[in-house]
Amino acid sequence: MSDRLLHEVQMETGQTISLVQGDLTAQEVGAVVNAANERLRHGGGVAAVILQRGGRQINVESQAWIQQHGPITHDCPAYTTGGDMPCKYVIHAVGPVWGSGDEDEKLKETITGALQTAEVLSLTSIAFPAISTGIFGFPKKRAAVIFFQTFYKYFLGNPDSRLTDVRMIVFDEPTTDAFDRAWQEVFPA
């Protein structure tokens, strides 16, 4: 699948936020974000695709991270190299499970934690999947609004951020439709 740019906005602080239908693992960015679990067991969903495309090294580095740092939290993701993918890093972020309580706030923490980790790594670009909207059951449109509002708020609060290219990568039609509707709510033309 080739990438299809659906929407793009340039913020007054200089960052570009875009919504792209495409393949997360093919993004030529500083980091892609993995929708991970707290123990970095990459068994299904986005994590399995990243491991398949990125190679065994990502799993080896993930397990070494867990041994050294312990389980990851919503606001403090882990990172590994990108393995065989074109990105330099994978930022492993734990999103909330729908029904676990305070899901909106946890998703905001997950997104902000990934952006802050990209800053620590001195990156200029990052690509996110629709974290928590698959097997974790977070309603897609609700998550999309939170993603876009969190990106916007983050850059308003961090106008000197090195990040200049933030991509929201969606794949399937239901997710694409939900994120497209949310975009039009958050960033009206």
Query: Would you say residue 24 lies in a domain?
Result: yes
Question: What percent of the chain lies above the pLDDT cut of 90?
Answer: 92
State pLDDT tens for residues 15-61. 999 999 999 999 999 999 999 999 999 888 888 999 999 999 999 99
The rounded distance, in Å, linking the Cα atoms of 88 and 187 is: 30
Query: Would you say residue 121 lies in a domain?
Result: yes
DSSP assignment of 59-110: HHHHHHHHHHH-S-BTTB-EEEE-TTSSSSEEEEEEPPPTTSS-HHHHHHHH
State pLDDT tens for residues 113-162. 999 999 999 999 999 999 999 989 999 999 999 999 999 999 999 999 99
Query: Would you say residue 20 lies in a domain?
Result: yes
Q: What are phi and psi of 119, to 5 degrees?
A: -65, -45
The rounded distance, in Å, linking the Cα atoms of 181 and 175 is: 10
Query: Would you say residue 2 lies in a domain?
Result: no
Please report, for residues 57, 58, 95, 175, the alpha-carbon distance to residue 83 in angstroms, rounded to integers and kept in the order given: 6, 6, 22, 27
CATH classification at residue 41: 3.40.220.10
Query: Would you say residue 182 lies in a domain?
Result: yes
Structural domain count, the chain: 1
State pLDDT tens for residues 35-47. 999 999 988 888 8
Element (H, E) at 146: helix 140-157
Domain residues for the domain of 64 are 11-186
pLDDT at 1: 64
Evaluate if pTM is beyond 0.75. yes
Average pLDDT, the chain: 95
Query: Would you say residue 170 lies in a domain?
Result: yes
Query: Would you say residue 3 lies in a domain?
Result: no
Query: Would you say residue 19 lies in a domain?
Result: yes
